[in-house]
Amino acid sequence: MSKNYFITGGAGFIGSNYVHKLLSRGENVTVFDNLSRAGAPHNIQWLEKTFGTDSFRLIRGDVRDASLVAESAKSADVIVHLAGQVAVTTSVINPREDFEINALGTFNVVEAARLSGRSPILIYASTNKVYGGMDDVKVVERGARWEYEGLPFGAAETQQLDFHSPYGVSKGTGDQYVRDYARIYDLPTVVFRQSAIYGPRQFGVEDQGWLAWFVIAAVMGRPITIYGDGKQVRDMLHVSDLTNAYDLAIENIEKVKGEVFNMGGGRENTISVWTGFGPMLEELVGHEIKIARGDWRPGDQKVFVADIRKAQRELGWSPQVSVQEGVIKLFEWVRENKGLF
C-alpha cells in the first residue's frame, strides 16, 4: 500500500532523485520547496516530463513558514527533511539566514510532525560538519592525501560533536531536535549525518557540491579554484546509495527510530579533492585542466571519512556504486545535459 511522502527540498539534488524513486514505485508524494536553488526548476520539469504534471503535488513554500509547513505536512506518513541552507561559506557571510533556514526551519518541520497527531516517520539529512574540525583526531600526510591516524574505519557516531561554523551549529541544532523529539514525543525519527553526496541532477557550485562543480566546470570550460592543498580526503556516496538508505530506515523504523547514522561512502570510497580527483577528471575530458589556488576555507576538514559500520549492521546497507563508476556516470550526465548549465 502506498504511503503519503512529504519531501522538503524535493526539487533539490537529493530530493529530486528520491522523488523520482518514490514516483517510480507509485507512492503519493508532496514536494515542498521554495525553488530558490538554480537547478530546482529544471528538476521539477524533469519529474513532470517523466511522470506527468499530475504525478505529484508541488507546494512552493519555505520551511521558515511554520504554519504553511504544518498545514502542508498534516497528512504525511513519512517526512523526509532535505531543505536547507547548504554552504559553510554562505553561513559565515549571513549567519542569521542560515540559522533561520536550518535550525528554525528544522524545528518547524519536527513540530509539524508532532502537531499532525499521525506520528509520521521523519528522516533528517544532517551533515558530517556537526563533528567540526575533529581536533582530537590526528591526521597525517601520506603522499598525495591526508589520512586519519588511528581511525581505520573513519569517524563513528560516537565522535564528539563540535560545531564549527554557523552552518555546523545550525545543522547540528536541527540534528539534536530531531533526535530529542524521538525521546520526548516518541516520534519515529532517524538522523543521517551525511558525508559528500554526489550524482546526477546535482547543480554543484563552488562552495557546495564540489565534485559535481569540478565536473561541470571541466566540461563547460569554466575556471576551477582549489582551496587548501588539494590533498583533503572525502568519502563519496552516490545519491542512489543514499536514497536506498532512506528506504531501509523507513522499512526498519521500529528497530532504528531515535538513531543517528553516519552516512557516506566509507573507507572503500575515498578520494582526495584534487591530487586524486584531478587526474581522473583530466582523463575524462582528455586534456590538462589548469587551476587557480586559494587559501584554506573556514571549517574545511583535512579528512572526513564516515565509519558506516553501524548502518551496515542495523540497516543491512552498504554502498553499491564505486567512486570510479559514479564519477563516470556523473560526467556523462553533465556532458549530455550541457544546456542545463
So which residues are the catalytic ones?
A: 167
The position carrying cell 557540491 is 209
Query: Which residue from 49, 61, 2 is spatially nearest to 29, judged by alpha carbons?
Result: 2
How far apart, in whole angstroms, are the C-alpha atoms of residue 70 and residue 200? 31
How far apart, in whole angstroms, are the C-alpha atoms of residue 159 and residue 199? 27
* Alpha helices, DSSP H, located in the chain: 13-24, 40-51, 66-72, 88-93, 95-98, 105-116, 166-184, 210-220, 239-251, 253-256, 277-285, 309-315, 323-336
For the chain, the distance separating the N- and C-terminal CA atoms, rounded to the nearest angstrom, is 39
How far apart, in whole angstroms, are the C-alpha atoms of residue 222 and residue 206? 11
Query: Which residue from 11, 57, 13 is spatially nearest to 33, judged by alpha carbons?
Result: 11
